[in-house]
Amino acid sequence: MYSIVRPLLFQLNPELAHSLGFLAARVAPVKVTSSVFRYSNSVLDQYLWGIDFTNPIGLAAGLDKNGSAVPFWASLGFGFIEVGSISAQPWPGNPKPRLFRLPADKAVINRMGLNNLGAERVAARLGKLAKGLPPLGINIVKTPDPEIEKEAAIDDFRRSFRTLVRLANYITLNVSCPNTKEGKTFEDPFALDELLKAITEERAETVRNIPILVKLSPPMFERLELDSQIDEIVSVALDRGVDGFIAGNTSTHRDGLNTPTDTLQRIGAGGLSGQPLRDRSTRLIRYLHERSEGAIPIIGVGGIATADDAYAKILAGASLLQLYTSLIYEGPGVVKKIKSGLAQLLLKDGFQNIKQAVGAQYHLPVAGRRKEAERVIALSA
């Protein structure tokens, strides 16, 4: 079905196609979509931070910035949904055009610039959601107003946290948006430490010990040990008791793309997502898993379009996964396809549950399993 719709959608400018798709999502009969996309297998059950996930495939932040269509994403079979990024104050984002498809790379470049309705309006909307939906992550970011600096920037983050915390199963601090200077203010390890101090204090004042995750940029270098900032971020996160990493956000890199250089130049600045990000993000997952000795769970995101892509990230150390761009290229059926393929890969390798496979690439006990893992890792090398 999506193979018929996609060429029509791709005729439209990407943001218009996105808005139409979104409109359809908001009015779609979720009973019908959930019966079409239903798939479950207990090998995919994940339990993390005291939360049950019926499967590890989540919707990445940025598609549903204002939490407008959560029941629809649930009906596609996502195991969890992350909304946002949301800032304390509403923000219009960058001027259009700000979203571009790169079909030759199954990729997207965006410079949306953190457009969102602001924490209070989104909280009012999320407060009306029915019970029984999959776990909800809420991704917050500093209001991208350059006038909000230093202490005020931390207060801004605190305000969003306070407004949204009671509605979330986990909170993500987005410190890695490449599309505004402000989006990255807190990726600096010193600034991150200050932010985490403030947010963990704020958390201590709430009733719930909600998990706090930090979303990072994909690595700038092939060899991550060249990037000293990542090691500092890991140690700050460990010291401040961060509950998880999301690895990672979109990239400003343009290396090795099939899209012609003049097209890329015409598009200009923005964050790259989709297939070209896949191995870069898997490398970051592996590095974070090793550096934190598996102590900090990781949500792996970047270029996941197949079960093999998903499995490579699990073996590298991701406990949960998210996707966005493959929905644009493959359509909503991609979630079910990845889930059923991943269940088969896990069972074939002798795992009874996904938990056993997290970071298992180095210590698979059975020779057959190691061979399979090596095949999958080779795909991502």
Ligand X SMILES: Cc1cc2nc3c(=O)[nH]c(=O)nc-3n(C[C@H](O)[C@H](O)[C@H](O)COP(=O)(O)O)c2cc1C
By CB under 6 A, the residues from 190 to 229 that bind ligand X are: 215
- Shortest distance, CB of residue 322 to ligand X, whole angstroms? 7
- The whole-angstrom separation of Cα 361 and Cα 63 is 31
Q: What is the DSSP letter of 42?
A: G
Q: Is 112 in the site for ligand X (CB under 6 A)?
A: yes
| Minimum CB distance to ligand X smaller for 85 or for 282 | 85
Nearer to ligand X, 140 or 376 (CB): 140
Which residue of the chain is nearest ligand X when measured via CB?
Answer: 62
Enclosing H/E stretch for 21: helix 14-27
Residues 153, 181 contacting (CB under 8 angstroms): no
Q: Maximum Cα–Cα distance for the chain, whole Å?
A: 58
Supply the minimum distance, in Å, between the C-beta of residue 245 and ligand X: 12
Does residue 247 belong to the site contacting ligand X (CB under 6 A)?
A: no
Among 40-48, 107-115, 233-241, 368-376, which window interacts with ligand X (CB under 6 A)?
Answer: 107-115
Burial of 297 (0-12, 13-18, 19+ CB in 10 A): buried
Q: Shortest approach of ligand X to residue 95 CB, angstroms?
A: 15
Among 74, 83, 119, 277, binds ligand X (CB under 6 A): 277
Residues 6+ apart with CB under 8 A from 161: 140, 171, 199, 202, 203
What are the Cα distances from residue 346, in Å, to 34, 41, 355, 358?
24, 11, 10, 11
Question: Shortest gap between Cβ of 63 and ligand X (angstroms)?
Answer: 7
Strand bridging mode 99-102 / 170-174: unpaired
Comparison of 267 and 364: residue with beta carbon closer to ligand X = 267
Distance, in Å, from the CA atom of 212 to the CA atom of 231, rounded to the nearest integer, reads 19
User: Binding marks (x or -) toward ligand X, 330..349, rule CB under 6 A?
Assistant: --------------------
| Residue 91 amino acid letter | W
From candidates 33, 46, 55, 85, binder to ligand X by CB under 6 A: 85
Q: Is 325 in the site for ligand X (CB under 6 A)?
A: yes
Q: Residue 10 has what DSSP assignment? A: T
Token readout for 258 is: 């099939």
Tell me: does residue 65 bind ligand X (CB under 6 A): yes
Question: Any idea which residue has 């204002």 for tokens?
Answer: 66
**Structure-block tokens of residue 301:** 């995101």
Q: Is residue 81 classed as helix, strand or coil in its secondary structure?
A: strand
Please answer whether residues 90 and 50 qualify as being in contact, where contact means their C-beta atoms are separated by less than 8 angstroms: no
Question: Which residues in the 157-186 window bind ligand X by CB under 6 A?
Answer: 174, 177
Applying CB under 6 A, the span of 24-32, 42-50, 54-62, 205-213 interacting with ligand X comes to 54-62
> Is there binding between residue 244 and ligand X (CB under 6 A)?
no
Judged by CB under 6 A, which stretch of 38-46, 235-243, 259-267, 271-279 contacts ligand X? 271-279
Kindly tell me which residue out of 62, 178, 244, 297 binds ligand X, with binding defined by CB under 6 A: 62
Query: According to the binding rule CB under 6 A, does residue 148 interact with ligand X?
Result: no
**Identified binder of ligand X from the candidate list 163, 273, 306, 380, rule CB under 6 A:** 273
State yes or no: residue 250 binds ligand X (CB under 6 A): yes
- Binding test (CB under 6 A) with ligand X, winner from 137, 302, 317, 332: 302
Q: Are the beta carbons of 126 and 67 closer than 8 angstroms?
A: yes
Place of tokens 């180095």: 362
Kindly state whether residue 21 participates in binding ligand X, applying the rule CB under 6 A.
no
65: phi then psi, degrees, rounded to nearest 5: -65, -35
Q: Please, which residue, 18 or 203, has the CB nearer to ligand X?
A: 18
- Write down the least CB distance from residue 365 to ligand X, Å: 31
Position among 87, 139, 319, 361 found at the interface with ligand X (CB under 6 A): 139
Instruction: Give the closest residue to 116 by CA, choosing from 106, 126, 107, 131.
Output: 126
Q: Which residues pair with 374 in a beta bridge?
A: none
Q: Could you list the residues that contact ligand X (CB under 6 A)?
A: 60-62, 65, 84-85, 99, 108, 110, 112, 114, 139, 174, 177, 215, 249-250, 273-274, 277, 301-304, 323-326
